[in-house]
Amino acid sequence: MVQATGALSGNEGTIVRAACPHDCPDTCAMLVTVREEQGRRVAVKVAGDPTHPTTAGTLCTKVSRYLERTYHPDRVLHPLKRIGAKGEGRFVRVSWDEALSDIAARLGQIAARDPQRIVPYSYCGTMGLVQGEAMAARFFNKLGASFLDRTICSTAGGEALAYTIGAKTGTDVEQFQNSKLIVFWGCNAIASNLHLWSRAQEAKRRGAKLIAIDPYRSLTAEKCHQHIALMPGTDAAFALGVMHVLMREGLIDHDYVARYTLGYDGLAERAQEFSPERVAALCGISAAEVENFAREYGQTRPTAIRLNYGMQRARGGGNAVRAIACLPALAGHWRDPAGGVLLSTSGIFPVDEDALYRPDLLAGRTPRTINMSTIGHDLQHADPPIDALIVYNSNPVAIAPDSRAVARGFARANLFTVVLEHFITDTADYADYVLPATTQLEHVDVHKSYGHLYVLANNAAIEPRGESLPNSEIFRRLATQMQFDDPCFSETDDELAVQAFKRKGATANFDWQRLKDIGWQRLDVPDQYAPFAHGGFTTPSGRCEFYSEQLAKLGQDPLPAYLAPNEAPDANKALAQRYPLAIISPPARNFLNSTFVNLTSLRSTEGEPIVEIHPRDAQHRGIIDATRVRVFNDRGSIDLLARVTDRARPGCVVALSIWWKKFARDGKNVNELTSQALTDIGRAPTFYDCLVEVEAAP
Ligand SMILES: Nc1nc2c(c(=O)[nH]1)N[C@H]1C(S)=C(S)[C@@H](COP(=O)(O)OP(=O)(O)OC[C@H]3O[C@@H](n4cnc5c(=O)[nH]c(N)nc54)[C@H](O)[C@@H]3O)O[C@H]1N2
Ligand SMILES: Nc1nc2c(c(=O)[nH]1)N[C@H]1C(S)=C(S)[C@@H](COP(=O)(O)OP(=O)(O)OC[C@H]3O[C@@H](n4cnc5c(=O)[nH]c(N)nc54)[C@H](O)[C@@H]3O)O[C@H]1N2
Ligand SMILES: [Mo]
C-alpha cells in the first residue's frame, strides 16, 4: 500500500486526511480511502472524520458525492482552445506548452500597454489558502493587474459586523447545543450549515426553542417551533422593533450596556421610532410577532442567533447586520458561551496575507479596483477597458447579477478570456483557453473556516487526473513563461502552506508537517469560548459600537438604520405596479452555489428550475401548480416550473439556486433578473432585492 502523509493503513486501503474545500461554514475534516490499482492510486471512498468535533463523521449529501465529481466523465483533462463562437463551448485540445506560451504572449502585449487591462476573477470554488489567492495573487501583483474587490458573498455583513463588534467572529458552533433559544435569522442551516443544525437538534432535545426568521418556509424554518416570515430586506426594521420592545419592557442588561457598549442613548432614540405596529407594516407580519419575539429574546438565557448571509443581500443589508449584531449586547447574551451571535468566524484566523499574496511585488504601483459584483457593467464600460480576464474558482456567467449584461461582456470579441476549471461551465463556454485544474483529492492545501475554530490540512489522495494541474502550479508556470524570476514563484505548495498563518496569535502551535499528519487542530482559544463575555470588542473604542464614528466619517448613518429595499412593493410603488412580486433565490440543498449542478445524482434530486409561489398570488394570475411560467422584469425573463405552495409567503416568490444555464430548458437562470445595485455597506450585490412579475407561459 502507498503511504501518503497524513495516511493511515487499514483493511480497505490507505486513509488520507483531507479537508472539504467548498464555500460552506462547516469546512469538514474528510477521510479519503485510497487503493492502488494497476500502479495508480484510486480514491474509493470519502467520509467525514468521526473524531473531528464539528464534522462528527458526517459529510453533506453533496460532498459525499465527491468521487462522482472527481472521476466525472466530463472533467476537463487537457488544455483546450476555443474554435467556436464565444459562448458556444467548442474547443480543441492543445498542449500545455502551446496554451501557456500563447497566453503569456497575449498578457505580455496587454501589460505592455497597461497591466490594469488584465483582471483576475475568482472567488471560493475552493476555500484553500494555497489553491485560492496565494500563487495567483503573487502573479497578478507582479503583473500590476487590476485588483478585484471580492464582494460577491459576504462583504456587506462582514464589514457591518466589523463596524459593530470589531471582527468577523462570534459564538462557537460547539456551544449551540447548550442554548435555550436559537434564532435562525436568514439561515437555512439544514442546507447550508448542516453541522450547526445537528447541534441545534441536540439543543431542541434538551428543551430549547428554535425560531426561524425567513421570508420562506425553508427546510430549516419548517422544523423550527416558530417561523416569522417577514418580507425580504426588512430585517433591520424587525431588529429595531425588537430593540423598541426590549427597551420599553425593561429587558435591557444595563450593566453590560454601561460597561461594554457605545452609543446607547442614540440607539434608544432610533428604536423609539420603530413601534411594533410600524414594524409589522414594514415587514408584512403582525405586531404580536415582534413583541413576543422580543420578550422571548430578552428573557431566555442563553440565547444564540445564527445569522447567515441571506438577509444581507438587499440594499440595507449592512445596516441590517449591524442592527442584529447589537441585540446580544443589549440583552447581555454575550455573557454566556452559548449566547451571542454567529455570522462568521473567519476573522479570528491570523492568515498571513502579506506572506501569501506578496503585495511588495506591486513595487509601489496601486492598480485600480474592479468590483466583481458589477462585472457585467465593467466588462463593457470600465475605463481603461478590460482586455483580459483570468477566471479561476468561480463561475461568473452563472452567479453574478444581471446575467444578460455579464454574458454580453463575456461575448466581447476583443476580450481575451482564460478559465481554470474542472468542467465546461457556463463561464468556460466563453473562454479562449480552458485550463484543467485539479480537484481537492489531487492537490495539497491548508484551510481555515468561517463557521468553526479549526485549521485543517488537505493531503493529496491521488495523482492529478489527465493533464490537470493545481491552480498554484498553473500560475507558477505562467510566471515562468512571463519571465518573473522572483524566488517566490518557485515555492512549492507545501512551502506556501507553511506561511499560511502568522506564528504569533491564535495558532502559536501551527506546524504544517504536524498538521498534515493529524489533519486538523483547534485555534488556541478556550474550550468555553465566549469572545465578548467581558467586552473586549476589537472596534476602535473597544466597545460594541451601536454608534460608529467610522461610519459617521464616511458620511453614513452612525446608528443602525432601516433602509428599505430598492425594489420593494411598498418602497418603490412605481416599479411595483409593473413588477409586484419580490423574488429571492437562496441556495438549493443539493448544490453549492453553481458547483455540483452537473452531477446527475444531485441534479435529479433538485429536479428542474422552479419558482415557488403562494396560492393567493398564483390564483389571480391563473397559475396552476406544475405548469410553466414566465418570470420577468426589465432586466430579463426566464421560464420556470411553478410550484404553488404556502412555503412562499404572499408577495414573495422563491427560486432555489444556482442552476447552470445550460441545464435549463431556456438556457437561462435566475440571475437574468437580479440587479447590479450594491448594498449600503460593503459594496456587495443585492440578489434578493428584486421585483418581478410572474405569468402563465403562453
Ligand atoms: N447546500 C448549500 N450550502 C451552502 C451554499 C449552497 O449554495 N448550497 N452556499 C454557501 C455560501 S457561498 C454561503 S454564503 C452560505 C450562506 O448562504 P446563505 O445565502 O445565507 O444561505 P442560507 O443559509 O440558505 O440562508 C439563506 C436563507 O435566508 C433567507 N432569506 C432571503 N432573504 C432574506 C431576508 O431578506 N431576510 C431574512 N431574514 N431571510 C432571508 C432565504 O429564504 C434562505 O432560507 O452557505 C453556504 N452553504
Ligand atoms: N441568484 C443568486 N446568485 C448568487 C447567490 C444567490 O444566493 N443567489 N449567491 C452568491 C454567493 S453567496 C456566492 S459565494 C457566489 C458563488 O459564486 P462562485 O464562487 O463563482 O461559486 P460557484 O458557482 O460554486 O463556482 C465555483 C467554480 O470553481 C470551480 N472550482 C472549484 N475548485 C476549483 C479549483 O481548485 N480550481 C479551479 N480552477 N476551479 C475550481 C468549480 O468547478 C466551480 O465551477 O454566488 C453568488 N450568486
Ligand atoms: Mo457565499
SS3 content of the chain, % helix, strand, coil (to 5): 35, 20, 45
What pLDDT is stored for residue 85 in this prediction? 97
Helical residues (DSSP H) of 26-75, grouped into ranges: 61-64, 66-70
Asked if residue 11 has pLDDT above 70, the reply is: no
Centre of ligand 3 to C-alpha 572, Å, is: 27
Distance 42 CA to ligand 1 centre (A): 35
CB 669 within 8 A of CB 637: no
Of the pLDDT bands very low, low, confident and very high (cuts 50, 70, 90), residue 698 is confident
Ligand 2 centroid to Cα of residue 659, in Å, is 11
Q: 451: which residues sit within 8 A by CB, 6+ positions away?
A: 24, 25, 26, 27, 54, 173, 193, 195, 196, 342, 344, 345
Rounded to the nearest 10 degrees, how much is the dihedral formed by the CA atoms of 493, 498, 499, 503?
Answer: 170
Ligand nearest to the CA of 647: 1
Residue 2 has pLDDT above 60, yes or no: no
Q: Is the pLDDT of residue 503 over 70?
A: no
Mutate to test the pocket of ligand 1, among 309, 645, 689 (most ligand atoms within 8 A of CB): 309
- Indicate which atom in ligand 2 lies nearest the CA of residue 124: 19
Considering every ligand atom shown, identify the ligand nearest to the alpha carbon of residue 657 and give its number.
2
Atom of ligand 1 nearest to the CA of 232: 35
Q: d(Cα 172, Cα 344) in Å, to the nearest integer?
A: 10
Q: Are strands 181-185 and 209-213 parallel, antiparallel or unpaired?
A: parallel
Ligand 2 atom showing the smallest separation from residue 23 Cα = 14
Closest residue by Cα to atom 6, ligand 1, is 592
Report percent pLDDT > 70 for the chain: 98
pLDDT digits (tens, 9 = 90+) for 119-166: 999 999 999 999 999 999 999 999 999 999 999 999 999 999 999 999
Our mutation pick for probing the ligand 2 site, out of 393, 423, 430, counting the most ligand atoms within 8 A of Cβ, is 393
By most ligand atoms within 8 Å of CB, the mutation choice from 22, 394, 611 for ligand 2 is 394
Average pLDDT across the chain, whole number? 96
Q: For residue 507, is pLDDT > 90?
A: no
24 CA distance to ligand 3 centroid (A)? 8
Decide if pLDDT at 569 tops 90: no
Instruction: Tell me the three cell numbers of residue 272.
Output: 423609539
| Closest ligand 1 atom to 654 CA | 42
Ligand 2: atom nearest CA of 671 is: 1
The pLDDT score that the predictor gives to residue 198 is 97
Instruction: Tell whether the model's pLDDT for residue 433 goes beyond 80.
Output: yes
CA nearest neighbour of 160 among 568, 542, 557, 586: 557
**Which residues are within 8 A (CB) of 276 and not within 5 positions of it... i.e. 6 or more apart?**
241, 244, 245, 287, 288, 290, 291
Contact between 171 and 452 under an 8 Å Cβ cutoff? The reply is: no
Residue whose cell numbers read 476555500: 127
CA 97 to chain centre: 35
pLDDT at 4: 46
Which atom of ligand 1 has the smallest separation from the CA of 310? 20
- The answer to whether 229 touches 649, Cβ cutoff 8 Å, is yes
**654 strand-pairing partners:** 584, 612
List alpha helices for 590-691, DSSP H.
600-606, 615-619
Instruction: For residue 159, give the 3-state DSSP assignment.
Output: helix
Average pLDDT over residues 652-656: 98
pLDDT of 64 above 50? yes
The answer, yes or no, to whether residue 577 has pLDDT greater than 80, is: yes
Ligand 2 atom closest to Cα of residue 439: 35
Q: Average pLDDT for residues 1-17, to the nearest whole number?
A: 67
pLDDT of residue 1: 35
Which residues share a beta bridge with 648? 216
- The secondary structure element, H or E, covering residue 246 is helix 235-248
Q: What is the pLDDT of residues 542-560, one digit of tens each?
A: 999 999 999 999 999 999 9
Pocket residues: Cβ below 6 A from ligand 2: 23, 123-126, 131, 152-153, 309, 392-395, 398-399, 420-423, 425, 437, 471, 585-587, 592-595, 657-658, 670-671, 674, 687
Q: What is the pLDDT of residues 179-193, one digit of tens each?
A: 999 999 999 999 999
- Atom 1, ligand 1: which residue's CA is nearest? 589
Residue 442 C-alpha cell reads as: 489531487
For residue 310, which atom of ligand 2 is closest to its CA? Answer: 7
Q: Which atom of ligand 2 is nearest to the CA of 153?
A: 12
Q: Measured in angstroms, how far is the CA atom of residue 22 from the centroid of ligand 1?
A: 15
Q: Is the pLDDT of residue 311 over 50?
A: yes
76 has pLDDT over 80: yes
Minimum CA distance residue for ligand 1 atom 47 = 192
Cis peptide before 50 (omega within 30 of 0): no
For 581-615, the pLDDT digits (tens) are 999 999 999 999 999 999 999 998 988 999 999 99
Q: What is the percentage of the chain residues whose pLDDT exceeds 90?
A: 95
Cα-to-chain-centroid distance, residue 52: 23
**12 CA to centre of ligand 3 in angstroms:** 36
Mutation test residue for ligand 1: of 308, 612, 647, 654, the one with most atoms within 8 Å of CB: 308
For ligand 2, atom 20, name the residue with the nearest CA: 394
Q: Which of 72, 594, 673, 688 to mutate to test the pocket of ligand 2 (most atoms within 8 A of CB)?
A: 594
Residue 9 reports pLDDT greater than 80:
no
Nearest atom in ligand 1 to the alpha carbon of residue 317 is 35
Question: What is the pTM (predicted TM-score) of this model?
Answer: 0.97
Name the nearest CA neighbour of 30 among 1, 71, 67, 81: 67
Question: What radius of gyration do the chain's Cα atoms show?
Answer: 25
How would residue 3 be classed by pLDDT, with cut points 50, 70 and 90?
very low
Pocket test for ligand 2, best of 24, 152, 313, 442 (most atoms within 8 A of CB): 152
Residue 8 confidence (pLDDT): 62
C-beta of residue 439 within 8 angstroms of C-beta of residue 595:
no
CB 612 within 8 A of CB 643: yes
- Find the residues whose C-beta lies inside 6 A of ligand 1: 23-24, 153, 185-188, 191-192, 213-216, 218, 232-233, 235, 308-311, 314, 584, 586-587, 589, 591-593, 688
For ligand 1, atom 39, the nearest C-alpha belongs to 186
Q: 475 near 135, Cβ under 8 Å? A: yes
Is the pLDDT at 6 greater than 70? The verdict is no
Query: Considering every ligand atom, which ligand is closest to the CA of 25?
Result: 1
Which ligand places an atom closest to the C-alpha of 395?
2
pLDDT at residue 287 greater than cutoff 60: yes
Give me ligand 1 centre to Cα 41, in Å: 37
DSSP 181: E
